[in-house]
Amino acid sequence: MRAIADRSASGGVDWVEVPPGALSGQGLAPYDFNASANLVDWVESMDDAQSVHLTPYCGDFVIDVVEIKPNAVHTPSKPGDEFLLVINGVLRLFTDSTKIEQVFKPGDMLMIPAGWHDIYRMESEVGWFRDVAITPGDYFVPSAIPPPNDRSPYRLELPLAGGTHEVSKGRYVLEAENIEHGSSRTLTSSSDQVIQVLAGALILTAGDDSASFGPGSIVIIPRGFAGAAKTEPGYRALNARWLGAPPQKLAWV
């Protein structure tokens, strides 16, 4: 789904917000299992292989809100570094090479590295398992899948000290941003950025448009954006910023 809006007055691009309702499971549509069949080589229960999702943005990043009926699948090799935020249910990851199981619960943020081969087990006592995934734009391109390796997923522990802190870096960088006294700055983007507001508020302005985003909001600043950003005191966020040239994408992404 292409979600970048043209502004006729400036010819620029607007920010894109992940719909808050989607994060609560609203407005999700059936997922085509065949579209991602090359990503898994085993499904515990084909009868329960059901999921719904919403993809509000496809660019340097693919942003996907997904609900999955409790099940388990095996991935022979993770196509790209994947950031996950667990919203509902429990995610159990069993790494083939180490035979170690990791457990992630609602509110947990984690990074699954490219090349990881594993079993995903998704559980939920109320409703279906739900998460938000941020992946490279070429995540569904078969030729982009790397050979499996021995890297393991890891939980993201975000620093609380003031300033900007790098927490992960690969084809894109994840940074924790903590601004005690608020700030105002010009914002131009030469590559896609994804901002997850954790505390305080972020106010974006572009042309005659302005919007405020509070805790829990996820907003994308697309490549080519030009505007301004203001943060209120006590602002905290996790930012993903693409590095380098745009990735190759399939025609349907």
DSSP states along the chain: ---PPB-TTT--B--EEPPHHHHTTTT-EE--GGGGGGG-SEES-GGG--EEEEEEEESSEEEEEEEE-SEEEEESS-SS-EEEEEEESEEEEEETTT--EEEE-TT-EEEE-TT--EEEEEE-SSS-EEEEEEEETTTT-GGGPPPP-S---EE-----SSEEEEEEESSEEEEEEEESS-EEEEEE-SS-EEEEEEES-EEEEETTEEEEE-TT-EEEE-TT-EEEEEE-TTEEEEEEEE-SSPPP--TT-
pLDDT confidence of residue 231: 98
Q: Look at residue 245 and tell me whether its pLDDT is greater than 70.
A: yes
Q: Which residue has the higher pLDDT, 7 or 127?
A: 127
Confidence tier at 251 by pLDDT (50, 70, 90): low
Tens of pLDDT, residues 64-99: 999 999 999 999 999 999 999 999 999 999 999 899
Task: Could you please state the CATH topology (level 3) that the domain comprising 159-242 is classified under.
Answer: Jelly Rolls (2.60.120)
Give the mean model confidence (pLDDT) for residues 36-56. 91
Domain layout of the chain by residue ranges: 20-155, 159-242
Q: Look at residue 9 and tell me whether its pLDDT is greater than 70.
A: no
pLDDT confidence of residue 130: 98
pTM exceeding 0.85: yes
CATH of 20-155, one of 2.60.120.10, 3.30.450.20, 1.10.3980.10, 3.40.50.2300: 2.60.120.10
